[in-house]
Amino acid sequence: MSNTANTQKKNGFLAGTANYVDERVGVGGILKEFGRKIFPDHWSFMLGEVALYSFLVLLLSGTFLTFFFQPSMTDVIYDGVYAPLKGAHMSIAYASSLDITFEVRGGLLMRQVHHWSALLFVAAAGLHMLRVFFTGAFRKPREINWVVGFVLFVLGMAAGFTGYSLPDDLLSGNGLRIIDGMIKGVPFIGTGISSLLFGGEFPGHAIVGRLYSLHIMLVPALILVFLAVHLFMLVIHKHTHYSGPGRKDTNVVGYPLMPVYVAKAGGFFFIVFGVIMLIATFFTINPIWNYGGYDPSPVSAGTQPDWYIGWLDGALRLAPTGIEFMIGDYTVSTNILLPLVVSLVFLALVAIYPFVENWVTGDKREHHVLDRPRNAPVRTAIGAAGVMFYAVLWAGASTDLIATNFKMSLNQVLVTMQISLIILPIVAFLVTKRVCLSLQRKDREIAIHGRESGRIVRLPHGEYIEVHEPLDPHDLYKLVDFKDYKPTLARPNAQGKITVAARLRSSLSKFYFEDRIAPATQTEIDEAAHHAHEIEAEVQKAIESSK
Amino acid sequence: MSDKSKEIAKQSGAYSDHEYDAGLRVIHEDAVANPGIEPHRVRMTDKSVKHEKNAVRQVAAFFTLSMLGSALALYAYFAFPISEDLTTVRLNTLYLGVGITLGLLGIGIGAVHWAKTLMPDNEVSEERHLTRGSDEKRAAAIEIINLANQESGFSRRKLIRRTLYGSLALFPLPGIILFADLGPSLGDKLRHTAWKQGTRLTKDPYGSPIKASEVTIGSVFHVIPEGLMPGEENYLEEKAKAAVLLVRVDPEILIETEERASWSYQGIVAYSKICTHVGCPVALYEQQTHHLLCPCHQSTFDLVDGCKVIFGPATRSLPQLPISVDAEGYLIAQSDFHEPVGPSFWDRSVQQ
Amino acid sequence: MAQLKRKLNGLRRSPRALVVVLFAGLLVVGSGYTAVQAAVSPSTAVTRSQEQIDLGKRIFLSNCASCHGKNAEGTMNGPSLIGVGEASVDFQVSTGRMPGAASGPQLEVKPVQFTEEQISALAAYVGSLADGPSIPDASYLQANGDSTKGGELFRINCAMCHNAGGAGGALTQGKYAPNLMGSSEKTIYEAMLTGPQNMPVFNDANITPEEKNDIITYLKYLQNNRSVGGDELGNLGPVVEGLVAWLGLLGLIIAITIWLGAKSN
């Protein structure tokens, strides 16, 4: 400790502060532990960071907005500066949103920053999830962190939707009305839940205040908690890295936290914030003044939710005509329940995927080297099918805009989407799997025979061959370092019985690994090299003899 | 340490990845060996003092740009105040936004450029350890749990344990029941609207009554019941159920069931505007096809055929409001709707 | 006059004139009904000179009669124009919708094919056949009404098809409600009054001339005051915002992450 006193004198202020903090917080130990932690560098590893930073921007801009927004549905007559609403009846919530927009300096900017970063938050989280999925980063030991991330994504949608509904304009009110209609369609409890949510009949006077509590308190608090867990587990696991020379399941290769990562990640926060600010400065988002206060009678063409709720709205639109039916005197709103169930099943499949794959492979080892998507063809194909399914639902929410902007019939667009919802995921699966397998074959070819040099040689017996150049060992390793699985047969258990689970696992393992391209082994590469030498010798001989 | 956990520790010894089951994974004995990290590529800024100095200047320039941006934002806050004139809002947003953007991007790009060009870019490798604790730690943890169990008697004292479970299961219930007052029972509210026998049909939103003669073929009126005025108690709730679309078509083409033959007046029909799917206002009337389209989910209703669904996710026809005229020629409702309006709910058809 | 004749001959010979509307059938069926409603939508007595009517008839015979009949009584290919009124003719022809081109779900806006003089002659001729909505009085086209009332009326009567920001929207089977951000006062008024194609009629009992002026006032306000928040993204709402968030915002950030992750040389 006397040493620190000395350094303090020598290095002045910086060391003095460090000493002061350490003596009170014990930060030295933490820095020693984490200060030189290694983080791998790759652009795709920053998507989660984008989500994190846009969440911080949301907290900052949202806090500003809370100081001016009044979540009350009491009726007032607007007397602000926006001329086409002067004298109109509206709720205090809407009037205060207009005041933020037109009468607070920087208020409109902050509203747009808040809304754009909300769209970015969910988008970046979604893309981050896709990166994790397609590279297999969810495998042991990160399955639980996948679920935590999934919960964060769902919470992001919840935060977004509760915020979308706050300005109490025509757009958000109609959005709430759709939610109310969906809730009422749930058997037994629908009308009860609707009343609890809205404090009686729709729209009531409570919903904006209630959503406000959820939006500024409960949901962000939950997001913070899950974020903390998410990041804590990231530290525990250390970040994954892509396969490559020097990368192993037992190490992590990259740059130290201090100083490189602090500068890069810290700078990146400012960049993300800056880009959001840039877009918010130049592009209008949610021009609430166009919509007027909520009134249950009018509706605007193009009434759509924000993008992250779009897929649910699309699911509602794509339900076939006339599927609601009666059981006795009771109405079963299949046209609401079917989309609801389909969406929930989809979400559930996303959440449990890591456990399914782990059960099939039975691979209980820790995985820290990421898969290239091509090296897990069936997983990549499943992901592509899922993305396609989601994308069709998402596009389903904009059938009207697709129809008007591409001069098509609304009805044809909708029917096409209905068919696509079934067909396209299957097509995506088959095509992606084939593409992955072909890429794997190509990799294997290159690994064994080397790169095509473009030099064509005619052998003495007349055969033409192209000379291949062997790969640099670092490049070679990228092509051959992946995990290879083989399907299993259903085996009887201790009682000599083949259980249903065993059968299922066996057929799933076939589904996953039936078409398998094994990585090139050293033996194969050596053999090919030997063969190449022979040819080279023959070529040399031919050249010699022709002289 | 208990004997049992000692034994576990002994058996496993130094643990490694290879003790976990690899499942269906094929381990290739002659896999290509890992050649180790690629050699470091030297940057221009490492080799040349000139480049290094340039990089330093660039980073400093970005940080300076940031300062200028922040200064611009401060200046803009006062220089572009907002007034009654909306263009001032645009200018305020624009200059404030540009200033803050520069303030942020300058710092961000500067810092990253600094890290990329001037900080060392040697890749470093760090060992990973298995996520699970070492056997000693696990054994110690088990020991603690066992000790806690012994000292508390958690496993031994069944009565305490079971009553604890019971109390834990019950204690949240009062908390949950507190939420019951979030909303009253809707009772029969979903089955009734503000329409009554003799209520005049009036124009939305200003409430002037409508004469039958004014409703010409091809026109559409957005209608609310008389007396429903903004600012009144339950205005929105009542309007949310009572909104009606009024259209006159050629009586010749109107397909009416016998029961409903008297619900229209000389080809004038009134239908609920609230979609039977999830409740959006079905307000798009195509006067040539006589189709009503919901802009939210594209359910389409055929107005001349009892507003039956001809496309989209809705199933039920829009409820019809029976209308006639009063002595002065104004359109009035014969009664309320004969069924609940709006989205389906479970017991909507149950007679009360 | 000779010049005009040449022009007319040219038109008659031009393929465009030959492809005159085959499908306008439905078009004025609705407008035709407006004949029934003389009481509601009283056409103010307009002074039309016989000369104008004669000119209009000549233009009609050479450009319109093939579909609408020699006496505008309608044919299989086009509806009767008796009683549609001058406003209807003025709306259809001065926006270029008529004469119609190739068949499609609905008439499209095209370059206008007649001079103002010719259009008013045509309107005068059709207006002389029977009473119908006449071209609105300029006093209702001043955009000097109450924009708040106009906004409310617009949202209740128009926004479901034309979008709250006037950006237009989809109807069934390929039809659509057009964008209103370029529409003139007169066009907006005449559209409400005559209910062209699938647009319903908003007669003067439904939306009074003063209220129509309010709506025009509101739309003009929207046309003249672009968004204070920056580019409006076509006023198309959350779908376009979502695309910008993905392709613009996230796209830009990803481009930056690639720069950030790339090694410096």
| pLDDT tens figures, A33-48 | 888 889 998 999 999 9
In this prediction, residues A359-373 reach a mean pLDDT of 94
Shared-domain flag, residues C86 and C150: no
Domains of chain A, first to last: 1-35 (no CATH), 50-241+258-293 (1.20.810.10), 433-546 (no CATH)
Shared-domain flag, residues C159 and C214: yes
Instruction: For residue C250, give the 3-state DSSP assignment.
Output: helix
In this prediction, residues A475-502 reach a mean pLDDT of 91
Considering the domain boundaries, does residue C263 fall inside one? no
Q: Is the pLDDT of residue B164 over 80?
A: yes
At C100, which CATH number? 1.10.760.10
Q: What dihedral angle (degrees, nearest 10) is formed by the CA atoms of A158, A160, A164, A165?
A: 20
Give the residue from A331, A472, A488 with the most B CB atoms within 10 Å of its CB, the best one to mutate.
A331
Q: How many CB pairs under 8 A join A and B?
A: 392
* Contact flag A86-C250 (C-beta cutoff 8 Å): no
| pLDDT score, position B16 | 52
Q: What dihedral angle (degrees, nearest 10) is formed by the CA atoms of A173, A175, A181, A184?
A: -80
Instruction: Yes or no: say if A460 and A391 are a contact pair by the CB < 8 Å rule.
Output: no
Shared-domain flag, residues C16 and C74: yes
The Cα–Cα gap between A383 and B78 comes to: 52
Shared-domain flag, residues C183 and C165: yes
Among A264, A300, A412, the residue with its CB nearest the CB of C163 is A300
* Contact flag A267-B204 (C-beta cutoff 8 Å): no
Query: pLDDT grade, residue A463 (50/70/90)?
Result: confident
Residue A51's closest chain C neighbor by CA?
C250
Q: Is the peptide bond before A141 cis (omega within 30 degrees of 0)?
A: yes
DSSP for A481-514 reads ----B--------TTS---HHHHHHHHHHHHHHS
The Cα–Cα gap between B131 and C137 comes to: 82
How many residues belong to chain B? 352
Enumerate the CATH 2.102.10.10 domain ranges in chain B, comma separated: 189-333
**Of C129, C163, C182, the domain-final residue:** C129
| Record: fold of B189-333 | Rieske Iron-sulfur Protein (2.102.10)
Q: Which ipTM score applies to this complex?
A: 0.92
In this structure, of A39-48, A504-513, C68-77, the range with the lowest mean pLDDT score is C68-77
| pLDDT score, position A276 | 98
Shared-domain flag, residues C14 and C81: yes
Shared-domain flag, residues C82 and C185: no
Considering the domain boundaries, does residue C92 fall inside one? yes
Q: Is the pLDDT of residue A499 over 70?
A: yes
Enumerate the residues of chain B whose CB falls inside 8 A of the CB of residue C169: 295
Distance from CA of C236 to the nearest CA of A (A): 7
Q: Which of residues 48-107 of A touch C (CB under 8 A)?
A: 50, 83-88, 101-102
Q: Is the pLDDT of residue A57 over 50?
A: yes
Is A467 within 8 Å of chain B by CB? no
Shared-domain flag, residues C52 and C73: yes
Query: pLDDT grade, residue B240 (50/70/90)?
Result: very high
Q: Which chains touch B (3 or more CB pairs under 8 A)?
A: A, C
| pLDDT score, position A10 | 58
Among A272, A305, A412, the residue with its CB nearest the CB of C253 is A272
Shared-domain flag, residues C143 and C53: no
**Of C129, C146, C169, the domain-final residue:** C129
| pLDDT score, position B352 | 65
Residue C195 is part of which domain span? 138-224
In this structure, of A116-130, C89-103, C157-171, the range with the lowest mean pLDDT score is C89-103
- Encoding tokens for residue C160? 């479901």
The gap between the terminal CA atoms of chain B, to the nearest Å, is 71
Give the residue from A333, A361, A413 with the most B CB atoms within 10 Å of its CB, the best one to mutate.
A333
* Contact flag C30-B288 (C-beta cutoff 8 Å): yes
In this prediction, residues B28-57 reach a mean pLDDT of 90
Instruction: Yes or no: say if A40 and C243 are a contact pair by the CB < 8 Å rule.
Output: no
Among C171, C200, C228, the residue with its CB nearest the CB of B218 is C200
Among C150, C221, C242, the residue with its CB nearest the CB of A307 is C242
| pLDDT score, position B10 | 40
Q: Is the pLDDT of residue C26 over 80?
A: no
* Contact flag A195-B281 (C-beta cutoff 8 Å): no
Distance from CA of C136 to the nearest CA of B (A): 18
**DSSP 8-class letter at A261:** I
Q: For chain C, how many structural domains are there in total?
A: 2
* Contact flag B218-C205 (C-beta cutoff 8 Å): no
Residue B273's closest chain A neighbor by CA?
A297
Give which of A47, A67, A175, A150 is closest to A114, Cα–Cα. A67
The Cα–Cα gap between A28 and A23 comes to: 9
Shared-domain flag, residues C71 and C186: no
% of chain B exceeding 70 in pLDDT:
94
User: The whole model's pTM is what?
Assistant: 0.91
Distance from CA of C225 to the nearest CA of A (A): 11
The Cα–Cα gap between B110 and A354 comes to: 40
Give which of A450, A380, A411 is closest to A317, Cα–Cα. A411
Cα B119–Cα B120–Cα B124 angle in degrees, nearest 5: 135
| pLDDT score, position A4 | 47
Over the stretch B63-111, which tens digit does the pLDDT of each residue have?
Answer: 999 999 999 999 999 999 999 899 999 999 999 999 999 999 999 999 9
Is A485 within 8 Å of chain B by CB? yes
Residue B41's closest chain C neighbor by CA?
C265
Residue A300's closest chain C neighbor by CA?
C160
Q: Which chains touch A (3 or more CB pairs under 8 A)?
A: B, C
* Contact flag C237-A43 (C-beta cutoff 8 Å): no
Q: Is the pLDDT of residue A297 over 50?
A: yes
Is A178 within 8 Å of chain C by CB? no
Q: Which chains touch C (3 or more CB pairs under 8 A)?
A: A, B
| Burial letters C117-142, b for 16+ CB under 10 A, else e | ebbbbbbbbbbbbbbbbbbbeeebbe
Q: What dihedral angle (degrees, nearest 10) is formed by the CA atoms of A151, A156, A157, A160?
A: 160
Is A100 within 8 Å of chain B by CB? no
**Of C78, C95, C129, the domain-final residue:** C129
In this structure, of A91-95, A210-214, C77-81, the range with the lowest mean pLDDT score is C77-81
| pLDDT score, position C49 | 83
Q: How many CB pairs under 8 A join A and C?
A: 201
* Contact flag B32-A477 (C-beta cutoff 8 Å): yes
| pLDDT score, position A92 | 97
How far are the Cα atoms of A171, A358, A439, A441, B19 from residue B25, in angstroms, in the given order? 53, 11, 21, 19, 14
Is A529 within 8 Å of chain C by CB? no
